[in-house]
Structure 1
Amino acid sequence: MTEDSRRDLLSGFALNVESWYADLPFEARFDKAAADGFSHVEFWFIDSWDRDAAELAGLANDAGVKVAQIVGDAPELARPNVQDKFLENCKRAVENARILNTDIVTVTGHQDVEGISKSDSLSAYQDHMAAAAPIFEDAEVFAAIEPFNPYDHPGHFIYGSAEAVDIVRAVNSPFVKLNWDLFHMQRHEGELIGNLKRHADTICYVQLADTPDRGQPGTGDVNYANVIRQVRSGGYDKPIGLEFWAQDGDYAQAITDILALATELD
């Protein structure tokens, strides 16, 4: 396989520099991603982890990779009295996204709070996202709500697609959508292809990992060739985030498996 064909096959994916290359310092992972043929990366928090967006942008630019998605800070959004703090977080996340030249900020903040019911938590969360929507609309940056699954992320009130889709439809903003993490969706509810067909319009970002162990495609339950075909046929054309931990820490094998998947899709 030529270097050009390798890069072309990998161009549909964004390597997660948090979960990949654990043997390297974080700052070195951008260059490693580029050297391995990836054109896009994704990562998690900036401000709350004392990272500097401009420095991260420099790492990406120097490596020659683009940033597909970042994660924004959020307080406990089950609480109705945290809106001012959340809106300030959103403004800062939009500033970081501009610096990093990305248009997707994943938002969570849906951890359980003792004494607040699930229905009240969902109502408060929806209110917060509706209040934040104009910030993201003005910047033309997506706020991507990411549902979790109860097995790997206990203690949350948004699992799977149902409640998250309801929130997106209720907020009704072109820039409040979902980070459709296929690992979480499969762990919580399955029926990946059917749900993708029904709710393609709610999706602004897609991530993957195989289940149940969160390794690369081909190490678990999911026929990712069929699933990604459905993702693409639903209109999603951005890179797909590779938020997994390479089985046995073997990154070369993980890339081989991703290339095999991309070849099957090509």
Structure 2
Amino acid sequence: MERRQFLQQGSLAGLSTLAFSSVTAAASRTSADGKVFNMNYAPHDGMFKNSAGENVLDQIKFMYDQGFRAFEDNGMMNRDVAEQEKIGNLLAKLGMHMGVFVIDGGDNWKTSLTTGKQEFKDNFVKVCRKSLETAKRVNAKWATFVPGYFERNLPIGIQTANVIEALRLAAPILEPSGLVMVLEPLSDNPDLFLRTAEQTYMVCKAVNSPSVKILYDIYHMQRNTGNLIPNIDLCWSEIAYVQIGDNPGRKEPTSGEINYKNIFKHLHTKGFTGVLGMEHGNAKPGKEGELALIKAYRESDDFL
């Protein structure tokens, strides 16, 4: 399932009256427990809309009650300023971390920076400056960037150099604020330039900036390369953010083939204290599915 598709996918029909009562009671027990997870998982808007309603602020409060201490929102830059400020204020009040939002200038899903053309570099610099405004409102420390598609008319080395050159333009813009652009290798389709963690590692090393690092999305890396834990170790010095999604299906841990308990334990052992974004859908519909998702995270987080 592509990123854009699963973010637009809603949950299915609700439960019966009896099931609703049971789910509500279960939610109360989960909330009353108040146990914070061992790792800092970040749900996204819509993940708990059946339990908390459509309002993103109510959803964030629900996330907090379930023990989550972070929130990520790919579309944050597209929200109006007032809503960004409300989200930022609520996260600060609750002591929650803001996870990634996407630095989106419209070129992320087409051939752009690989070409080396000035028009794309100019737009990239412009959107990087704009991202600082969003980051300040919500106190974000990380922002995702995808450098677009291959330019089929250029050798891969030239394309790589073009991307590195563009990212070097962004680095001095981001560094003073502390915002880290995390580059995400993806598996959505074979036209995307960044495909593997080790390729992204090479790009980050060449840019040589604390504000240009790797977003290691476990779902995408399972699909593209596998060998998850060894590749985490190989690229460790450049990994700043992690995202989650089981495979197949891109749903919560325990729904597919990936042993997330082992991966979470490994990250914990390595001292990872950053955010792990829950960039996936729900395996089951409605409130029942949302509670099942929380249960799956409790099970996978139980590694100590």
Mark yes or no: TM-score above 0.5.
yes
SS in 1 for 2:43: strand
2:89 and 2:138 in contact (8 A); partners too: no
Q: What SS does structure 2 have at the residue aligned with 1:178?
A: strand
What residue in structure 2 maps to residue 112 of structure 1? 150
Of 97, 100, 105 in structure 2, the residue corresponding to residue 69 of structure 1 is: 100
Look up the equivalent residue of 1:121 and give its one-letter code: Q
Higher gyration radius (CA):
2
Alpha-carbon contact 2:40-2:275 (below 8 Å) kept: yes
The 8 Å contact of residues 216 and 242 in structure 2, kept in 1 or not, is answered as: yes
Cα deviation digits, residues 89-127 of structure 1 (max 9, x gap) = 111112211111111011113223454454333221111
SS in 2 for 1:240: strand
Identity %: 24
Aligned partner of 2:15 in structure 1 is none
Secondary structure class of the residue paired with 2:284:
helix
Q: Deviation string for 1:47-79 (max 9, x for gaps)?
A: 4x3x12441231353363431221111432223
Q: Which amino acid aligns with 1:69?
A: V
Check if 1:12 corresponds to 2:40.
yes
Contact 1:209 1:216 in 2 (8 A): yes
Question: What is the aligned partner in structure 2 of residue 101 from structure 1?
Answer: 139
Q: Is the 8 A contact 2:30 2:66 kept in 1?
A: no
Determine the structure 2 residue equivalent to 1:170: 206
* Equivalent pair of 2:168/2:207 in contact (CA under 8 Å): yes
**Which stretch shows the higher mean deviation, 68-77 or 28-37?**
28-37
**Aligned counterparts, 1:92-171, within 5 A:** 92-113=130-151, 115-149=153-187, 152-171=188-207
Q: Which residue of 1 aligns with 2:86?
A: 58
The size of the alignment, in residue pairs, is 260
Q: Which amino acid aligns with 1:44?
A: N
Q: Displacement of 1:261 after TM fit?
A: 1.3
Shift in CA distance, 225/11, structure 1 to aligned 2, threshold 3 Å: closer
1:32-58 Cα shifts (integer Å, max 9, x gaps): 3234332211011344x3x12441231
Question: Would you say the 8 A contact 2:87–2:138 is kept in 1?
Answer: no
Structure 2 counterpart SS, 1:232: helix
Could you list the per-position Cα deviations for residues 129-174 of structure 1 after superposition, in whole angstroms to 9, with x for gaps in the alignment? 111111111111111001101xx33421111112111001111112
**How far apart are residue 192 of structure 1 and its match?**
0.7
Q: Which amino acid aligns with 2:66?
A: D
Scaled by the length of structure 1, the TM-score of the pair is 0.88
Deviation for aligned residue 1:128: 0.8
TM-score normalised by length of structure 2 = 0.78
